């Protein structure tokens, strides 16, 4: 086949535009840091912070009174739990509890009755109430009818770093696609390059598709680096196949690339594009389970959270990486990303401003 025949092929224009965009990315040294370096530094910092996090010590304030020292001795002699305790006046104890310096306040009564003051909105306060009551009841002579023992388990796959890395991977795929494409489009528009592209025989759909898919090569490198870093430094186990992970990331990258096209389709200035991109990404940073599980949010908004493309991408990546799920095991998540990507691309193609 001659070069003329190759150049006349349907996808020749798209491939040339894609190669040109990749050459531009190579000439941007800051891309190397933000796409590859920043996620690894973030994973390193958060992984070290939460990898060997010691158990929290329950802090208890005891209201001064005739029974205060007896309660203090009972808590300090507890073999099962460690407590940070202090005897304070009633006003001081309540004030310190209000400021969050203590998890629980114990106010002894005139008899053996105790009053626990805790905050149901603070999980550590609820836990403190249970631990303190268990320690005091055992110290007072209570015997449990069932024998039990506790076994500590912290295996790869159940740690915070294992939850974090797939979320960081999904977040960075979104960031790289939307920021890289959005800024590139507005920069071309400001430099009047889009007008010149329109004056050529280039198909407009090829141009937009090349921009939307230009981050795929970077995504492939990013997946290998971040997963390799997690396996090397934190002994993270990748249960799923690399092909399924790459295909999931590819769908996510194309989807967010199309959303990036849409957000920058009419913006005239970098500041306008920046505001629109942040407006789109901010809800997903908060709700899509990057740093913590979105299950903590009220059940009434769970359907809306699961309809977000980053939620679908993060869930699919975690299922593949941590559970070994194949690509076809989460069709709903893939469909969510495809719907966002296809609809955003078609809308961007219709609304795109070339001048």
Tokens representing 94 are: 């309540």
- Give 58-139's CATH code, choosing from 3.40.190.10, 3.40.50.300, 3.40.1190.20, 3.40.630.40: 3.40.190.10
| Distance, CA of 166 to CA of 162 (rounded, Å) | 7
Residue whose C-alpha is closest to residue 257's, from 191, 218, 193, 208? 208
DSSP per-residue string spanning 68-129: HHHHHHHHHT-SS--EEEEEE-HHHHHHHHHTTS-SEEEEE-SSS-EEEE--TT-HHHHHHH
The structural domains of the chain, with segments of one domain joined by +, span 15-51+156-351, 58-139
pLDDT in tens, 98-152: 888 888 898 887 666 788 888 888 888 888 888 888 888 888 777 767 666 655 5
| Distance, CA of 44 to CA of 144 (rounded, Å) | 43
Task: Give residue 25's pLDDT.
Answer: 64
- How far is C-alpha 153 from the chain's CA centre? 24
* Cβ atoms of 260 and 212 closer than 8 Å: yes
* Cβ atoms of 89 and 105 closer than 8 Å: no
SS3 at position 299: helix
Residue whose C-alpha is closest to residue 10's, from 155, 203, 200? 203
Task: Give residue 334's pLDDT.
Answer: 92
Residue 197 φ then ψ, to 5°: -65, -40
* pTM for this prediction: 0.69
Q: What is the mean pLDDT of residues 231-236?
A: 80
Q: Residue written as tokens 């790289």?
A: 176
Q: What is the mean pLDDT of residues 194-215?
A: 72
Residue whose C-alpha is closest to residue 83's, from 112, 115, 109, 56? 56
**Other CB atoms within 10 A of residue 98 CB:** 11
Q: Residue written as tokens 């040339």?
A: 16
* Cβ atoms of 63 and 110 closer than 8 Å: no
Average pLDDT of the chain is 79
Task: Give residue 11's pLDDT.
Answer: 66
Q: Which of 47-61, 229-243, 303-317 has the lowest mean pLDDT?
A: 47-61
Question: How do strand 58-63 and strand 114-117 relate by DSSP bridges?
Answer: unpaired
Residue 303 has pLDDT above 80, yes or no: yes
Task: Give residue 51's pLDDT.
Answer: 59
């Amino acid at each position: 086949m001659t070069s003329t025949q190759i150049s006349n092929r349907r996808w020749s224009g798209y491939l040339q535009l894609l190669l040109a965009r990749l050459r531009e990315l190579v000439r941007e040294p800051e891309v190397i840091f933000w796409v590859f370096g920043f996620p690894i530094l973030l994973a390193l910092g958060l992984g070290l912070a939460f990898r060997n996090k010691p158990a929290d010590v329950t802090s208890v304030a005891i209201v001064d009174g005739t029974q205060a020292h007896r309660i203090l001795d009972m808590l300090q002699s507890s073999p099962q739990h460690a407590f940070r305790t202090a005897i304070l006046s009633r006003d001081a104890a309540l004030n310190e509890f209000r400021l969050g310096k203590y998890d629980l306040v114990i106010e002894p009564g005139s008899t053996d009755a105790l009053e626990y003051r805790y905050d149901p909105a603070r999980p550590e306060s609820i836990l403190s109430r249970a631990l303190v009551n268990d320690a005091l009841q055992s110290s007072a002579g209570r015997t449990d009818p069932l024998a039990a023992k506790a076994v500590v388990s912290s295996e790869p796959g159940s740690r915070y770093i294992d939850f974090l890395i797939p979320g960081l991977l999904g977040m960075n795929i979104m960031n790289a696609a939307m920021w890289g494409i959005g800024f590139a489009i507005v920069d071309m528009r400001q430099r009047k390059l889009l007008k010149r592209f329109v004056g050529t025989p280039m198909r407009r759909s090829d141009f937009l598709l090349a921009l939307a898919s230009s981050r795929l090569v970077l995504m492939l490198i990013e997946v290998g680096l971040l997963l390799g870093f997690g396996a090397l430094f934190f002994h993270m186990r990748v249960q799923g196949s690399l092909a399924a992970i790459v295909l999931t990331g590819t769908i996510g990258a194309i989807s967010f690339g199309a959303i990036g096209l849409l957000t920058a389709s009419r913006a005239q200035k970098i500041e306008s594009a920046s505001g629109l991109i942040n407006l789109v990404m901010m809800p997903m940073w908060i709700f899509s389970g990057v740093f913590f599980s979105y299950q903590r949010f009220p059940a009434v908004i769970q359907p809306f959270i699961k309809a977000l493309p980053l939620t679908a991408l993060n869930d699919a990546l975690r299922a593949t990486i941590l559970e070994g799920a194949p690509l076809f095991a989460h069709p709903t998540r893939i469909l969510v990303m495809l719907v966002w990507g296809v609809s955003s691309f078609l809308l961007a193609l219709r609304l795109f401003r070339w001048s």
